[in-house]
Structure 1
Amino acid sequence: MKKIKSVILLLLFIPFFAFSITGEEIQSLIDKSIEEGHSQGMVIGIISKDKTIFYKNGKLGINNDKLMDENTIFETGSITKIFTSLLLAIMVRDGDVRMDDPVEKFMPPHVRTPSYLGQKITLANLATHTAGFPYLPDNFYPNDLYNPFCKYSYEEFYTYLSNYELKYAPGSKYQYSNVCIGFLCHALTLSSQKNFEELLIEKITSKLDMNDTRVKFTDDMLQRYADAHIRDKKVPHWGISTFEGNGALKSSAKDLARFIEANLGYYKSDLFDVLQTALIDRCPQDLPYLDVGLEWNIAYKYNPEIIYHGGIVGGQQVFVGFCPQREIGVVIVSNSSANISDIGKHVLNKKWHLNEYRQQATLMPLMLYKFIGDYKNDEGERDIKISMLDLGHLSTLMFKTGYYPAVKLYPSSDYDFFLKVMPVNVKFSYDENNNITGLTVDHDGKIFNYKKVK
């Protein structure tokens, strides 16, 4: 009888163990990323019903020997969008605005807000990326690709809005858009006559004791601010003014873990019910097995489904997510552009693939255009053509040689790329003005040099 009971208990817990990753495995992932140079420092927080545990290694920067921990401050990138959409949900709950309010209601009189055959854009359309706007405004021309959002102004945004024509009806199609969430944040601040940080503190962070989550630094936060890197190259932090609701928040792993605790109901607050509304209405994304709630990605490729979001800036990455069925959450912060989303998904559900090699980095699509062109080899090798596959925030370079089909070219740094379909590394060369002059192909140890001709 005892053996039968033991077998039954084992069978009951097999599904749990199948989805779980151990603390030793998590620490090993961090240590390997640091040792192989993919990140200067990383923290992973694991949230469960009983406790939150932080695993960490590394330092604040390549030239900053302060040790990384859960109180280190990071740029959160697009994680900010979750908070912007949550502000909308709270303001709807409190009767300040309505989901079906036309956004033009909150705009200055001189600004024309586009519509489609009389159908107006609502706050809900903006929050769900279904308003009909592209990834970025077409008058967005950054002077500094390492700090692209620092100079774009509201007047430039108003000019863009007044001249933009929708191509389809609002609410009919999903398209991930910085314009949508930036516009939503601006409308909420105009409606309330408060800035984004004031709204954030009043309605969210003060309720959750998230004192390190701010738009503007406190002096104490600045002392704990991690440097940004593309591999071992220090790069500037981003400055975001006009599109604050897209990516201006700074935070720590400890604060972000508190936010996940609140979403799972482990940290008690009056925000729990409104947090749950973010997952009720789901819209299919362009990728299979992936829906979007109120900004959260909901992935159901494997059972149980996971809920997550990533934040990427020039030289830092953040991942937050949770799995309600497993009653677990995760927060990852890294001061490097190397991808970490696979780690977060794998922690939530081990069925998600974990990359063995962390070579791939993430570059903003605007940083890729300079590589487009034709490249010629003087020794008679087939010409190479570099083009862009335009997928908005998922845009990628394409590599084509001779009659072979074009294949995706993945970044490992700001000028180094690689192919996944064969052992090929591509390194671009540039002049003193950062204009691309050529490329070098390393095909399994054989070196070929090309000049850019077009």
Structure 2
Amino acid sequence: MNFHTCVLVLALAASGTAQAMSDAELAATLDRRLSGDRTGACFAAAVVDAGQVARAWRCADPADRDRIGADAAFEIGSVAKTMTAALLADLIVGGEGSLDDPLADWLPETAAMPVFEGRPILLRHVVAHTSGLPRLPPGMEDADFRDPYAALDLEGLRAALGRTTLTRAPGMEFEYSNFAAMLLSWAVAHRAGEDLETLLDRRLFTPLGMDGAHVVQRPDGVRAAAGHTAEGQATPPWRFHVDLAGAGGVRATLDDMVRYVQAQLGQIEVEPRLDAALKMTRAPLAGTEARPMAMNWLLAPLDGRSVHVHEGGTGGFSSYVALDTGRERGVVVLSDTALHELGGLGDIGNHLLDARLPLGKPRTASAVELTPEALAGYAGEYPLMPGFSLLVRERAGVLYAQATGQDEFPLEARADDVFEAPAFGIEIRFRRDGGDRVDALELHQGGQVLQGERQ
């Protein structure tokens, strides 16, 4: 369940007026991004505007079109965290507590939560990803990567807490934590007094008309989409203990996610308590200025305002949801392929949110094969503007780039000293000095160019 910052380099630098999109226009856009893509991925996407929804289902190979459809439920991965936040807010609106409650107060007494110098982890720290808990529970490093959460139950999570020590005070630093998210999922179910799937269905899925959304109990008429690796190989579904599924164990159809987005944008009627809860989840959280967050939503800058974004990824699926409340536009992109290691769905999602943002290109077979030693020759830090650099590194035969304050992404060799990140519409051209040493680069994205000399 990887989380990817969608603001990559120049990605949200420009904005235009949102124009409602038709189904045909959306399908054509998906084809430009996906047709012939070497991953063989399929996309289900929707652009939600006030009074109109565009939907499309497309595949890299049209022969695979039957893999997905309106009845197909996708693993939405970490996008489920925003739904757990909605359940938490619903309980708080209903008088069950506040964001300033210690997380420990919402868990059974046998769950011994770590503290730092007497300072407990608060609920607000969990939904801001500043809890101080590590990304994964201790001991999960050796889990089966094909289905890593299947063997983890409440007792295992309780035991992991006993092996956890905080190294800094909660609230001090952003660190994305699936460990904390699983604890919150458990806490919400425990406080409500029912299993998480029942709670999701009662307080979110049924009220919003998300008829195909589920954790374990797949509704009649809904089929489970099959997941695939980025190499196009079939891969098993991910399984979660039902009370931990709020961290990434929800499946949903495209129309389920459309209803969820419409509710967030106020485009469908929602009962007052749930409406108040959804509004609470979208409110910026105090103390997150360095990495702006709402409740389990990343806040990304766009034309002087903020948009709410979350991506998700499992072993065989990718997802992207964004809300531009200022323009009443929402975007959903679901894929039956794990694309998060290739940059995720941010390129297509951001472009659908605002057409001025660059649309990535289909991934084709790499034109150039380089040894790890040759790739290491590009490694270094390249300042692009004051306070903003691009860090390039080689790892396991792959070249990665990472902009200041953002997540790293892989680069693909296209020609001598030319690399691309197709998912983000980025091309990087390296320059050599009079000898053979790489001494600078140019980063091209969306018609703009940034230059930096190697430090």
TM-score for the superposition, normalised by structure 1: 0.73
| Structure 1 counterpart of 2:278 | 275
1:418 equivalent to 2:412? Answer yes
Stretch deviating more after TM superposition (258-267 or 184-193): 184-193
Once the 2 structures are TM-superposed, how far is the Cα of residue 191 of structure 1 from its aligned partner? 1.9
Q: Secondary structure at the residue paired with 1:332?
A: strand
Identity of aligned residues (%): 21
Stretch deviating more after TM superposition (225-234 or 168-177): 225-234
Once the 2 structures are TM-superposed, how far is the Cα of residue 335 of structure 1 from its aligned partner? 1.0
Q: Secondary structure at the residue paired with 1:293?
A: coil
Given that residues 284 and 292 in structure 1 are in contact (C-alpha distance below 8 angstroms), is that contact kept between their aligned partners in structure 2?
no
Q: Secondary structure at the residue paired with 2:186?
A: helix
Q: Note closer, same or farther for the CA distance 1:148–1:422 as it changes in structure 2 (3 Å cut).
A: farther
- Gapped runs of 5+ residues in structure 1? 1-14, 361-374, 388-395, 411-415, 426-454
Once the 2 structures are TM-superposed, how far is the Cα of residue 423 of structure 1 from its aligned partner? 4.6
Q: Note closer, same or farther for the CA distance 1:283–1:234 as it changes in structure 2 (3 Å cut).
A: farther
* Aligned-partner residue type, residue 308 of structure 1: V
In the alignment, the residues of structure 1 paired with residue 119 and residue 213 of structure 2 have an alpha-carbon distance, to the nearest angstrom, of: 37
Q: Secondary structure at the residue paired with 2:175?
A: coil
Q: Note closer, same or farther for the CA distance 1:73–1:324 as it changes in structure 2 (3 Å cut).
A: same
Once the 2 structures are TM-superposed, how far is the Cα of residue 316 of structure 1 from its aligned partner? 1.1
Stretch deviating more after TM superposition (216-225 or 159-168): 216-225
Once the 2 structures are TM-superposed, how far is the Cα of residue 108 of structure 1 from its aligned partner? 3.5
Given that residues 132 and 167 in structure 1 are in contact (C-alpha distance below 8 angstroms), is that contact kept between their aligned partners in structure 2?
yes
Stretch deviating more after TM superposition (65-74 or 267-276): 65-74
Q: Secondary structure at the residue paired with 1:309?
A: strand
In the alignment, the residues of structure 2 paired with residue 179 and residue 83 of structure 1 have an alpha-carbon distance, to the nearest angstrom, of: 16
| Structure 2 counterpart of 1:253 | 254
| Structure 2 counterpart of 1:399 | 394
Once the 2 structures are TM-superposed, how far is the Cα of residue 418 of structure 1 from its aligned partner? 3.2
1:355 equivalent to 2:356? Answer no
| Structure 1 counterpart of 2:347 | 342
Once the 2 structures are TM-superposed, how far is the Cα of residue 38 of structure 1 from its aligned partner? 3.5
Q: Secondary structure at the residue paired with 1:216?
A: coil
| Structure 2 counterpart of 1:437 | none
Q: Note closer, same or farther for the CA distance 1:236–1:224 as it changes in structure 2 (3 Å cut).
A: closer
Once the 2 structures are TM-superposed, how far is the Cα of residue 62 of structure 1 from its aligned partner? 10
Once the 2 structures are TM-superposed, how far is the Cα of residue 159 of structure 1 from its aligned partner? 2.0
Q: Note closer, same or farther for the CA distance 1:356–1:119 as it changes in structure 2 (3 Å cut).
A: same
| Structure 1 counterpart of 2:194 | 194
| Structure 2 counterpart of 1:66 | 66
Once the 2 structures are TM-superposed, how far is the Cα of residue 291 of structure 1 from its aligned partner? 1.7
RMSD: 3.7
Residue pairs, 1:287-298, within 5 angstroms = 291-298=292-299
* Aligned-partner residue type, residue 422 of structure 1: D
Q: Note closer, same or farther for the CA distance 1:183–1:348 as it changes in structure 2 (3 Å cut).
A: same
Q: Note closer, same or farther for the CA distance 1:233–1:386 as it changes in structure 2 (3 Å cut).
A: farther
Given that residues 103 and 122 in structure 2 are in contact (C-alpha distance below 8 angstroms), is that contact kept between their aligned partners in structure 1?
yes
In the alignment, the residues of structure 2 paired with residue 424 and residue 106 of structure 1 have an alpha-carbon distance, to the nearest angstrom, of: 49
| Structure 1 counterpart of 2:234 | 234
| Structure 2 counterpart of 1:435 | none
Given that residues 181 and 246 in structure 1 are in contact (C-alpha distance below 8 angstroms), is that contact kept between their aligned partners in structure 2?
yes
In the alignment, the residues of structure 2 paired with residue 111 and residue 259 of structure 1 have an alpha-carbon distance, to the nearest angstrom, of: 32
Task: Work out which structure has the larger RCO, using CA pairs closer than 8 Å and 6 or more positions apart in sequence.
Answer: 2
In the alignment, the residues of structure 1 paired with residue 235 and residue 50 of structure 2 have an alpha-carbon distance, to the nearest angstrom, of: 38
Q: Note closer, same or farther for the CA distance 1:71–1:408 as it changes in structure 2 (3 Å cut).
A: same
Once the 2 structures are TM-superposed, how far is the Cα of residue 275 of structure 1 from its aligned partner? 1.2
Once the 2 structures are TM-superposed, how far is the Cα of residue 386 of structure 1 from its aligned partner? 13
Q: Note closer, same or farther for the CA distance 1:383–1:91 as it changes in structure 2 (3 Å cut).
A: closer
* Aligned-partner residue type, residue 187 of structure 1: A
Given that residues 313 and 319 in structure 2 are in contact (C-alpha distance below 8 angstroms), is that contact kept between their aligned partners in structure 1?
yes
In the alignment, the residues of structure 1 paired with residue 108 and residue 276 of structure 2 have an alpha-carbon distance, to the nearest angstrom, of: 33
In the alignment, the residues of structure 1 paired with residue 255 and residue 43 of structure 2 have an alpha-carbon distance, to the nearest angstrom, of: 13
Q: Secondary structure at the residue paired with 2:203?
A: helix
* Aligned-partner residue type, residue 292 of structure 2: D
* Aligned-partner residue type, residue 207 of structure 2: K
Once the 2 structures are TM-superposed, how far is the Cα of residue 227 of structure 1 from its aligned partner? 3.5
In the alignment, the residues of structure 1 paired with residue 152 and residue 230 of structure 2 have an alpha-carbon distance, to the nearest angstrom, of: 24
- Gapped runs of 5+ residues in structure 2? 1-13, 380-390, 403-409, 421-455
Stretch deviating more after TM superposition (252-261 or 212-221): 212-221
Superimposed CA distance per residue, residues 141-177 of structure 1 (whole angstroms, 9 cap, x where no aligned partner)? 3442122211123223222212322122222222211
Q: Note closer, same or farther for the CA distance 1:262–1:419 as it changes in structure 2 (3 Å cut).
A: same
In the alignment, the residues of structure 2 paired with residue 296 and residue 226 of structure 1 have an alpha-carbon distance, to the nearest angstrom, of: 27
Once the 2 structures are TM-superposed, how far is the Cα of residue 103 of structure 1 from its aligned partner? 2.1
* Aligned-partner residue type, residue 73 of structure 2: I
Q: Secondary structure at the residue paired with 2:43?
A: strand
| Structure 2 counterpart of 1:313 | 314
Once the 2 structures are TM-superposed, how far is the Cα of residue 278 of structure 1 from its aligned partner? 1.6
Once the 2 structures are TM-superposed, how far is the Cα of residue 88 of structure 1 from its aligned partner? 0.5
In the alignment, the residues of structure 2 paired with residue 65 and residue 382 of structure 1 have an alpha-carbon distance, to the nearest angstrom, of: 40
Residue pairs, 1:113-192, within 5 angstroms = 113-192=113-192
Q: Note closer, same or farther for the CA distance 1:423–1:233 as it changes in structure 2 (3 Å cut).
A: farther
- Number of residues of Structure 1 aligned to a counterpart in Structure 2: 376
* Aligned-partner residue type, residue 285 of structure 2: R
| Structure 2 counterpart of 1:54 | 55
Once the 2 structures are TM-superposed, how far is the Cα of residue 69 of structure 1 from its aligned partner? 2.4
In the alignment, the residues of structure 2 paired with residue 382 and residue 74 of structure 1 have an alpha-carbon distance, to the nearest angstrom, of: 39
Q: Note closer, same or farther for the CA distance 1:382–1:74 as it changes in structure 2 (3 Å cut).
A: closer
Residue pairs, 1:38-117, within 5 angstroms = 38-58=39-59, 66=66, 68-117=68-117
Q: Note closer, same or farther for the CA distance 1:312–1:204 as it changes in structure 2 (3 Å cut).
A: same
* Aligned-partner residue type, residue 164 of structure 1: T
Stretch deviating more after TM superposition (245-254 or 264-273): 264-273
In the alignment, the residues of structure 2 paired with residue 357 and residue 62 of structure 1 have an alpha-carbon distance, to the nearest angstrom, of: 14
In the alignment, the residues of structure 1 paired with residue 167 and residue 249 of structure 2 have an alpha-carbon distance, to the nearest angstrom, of: 29
Given that residues 47 and 261 in structure 1 are in contact (C-alpha distance below 8 angstroms), is that contact kept between their aligned partners in structure 2?
yes
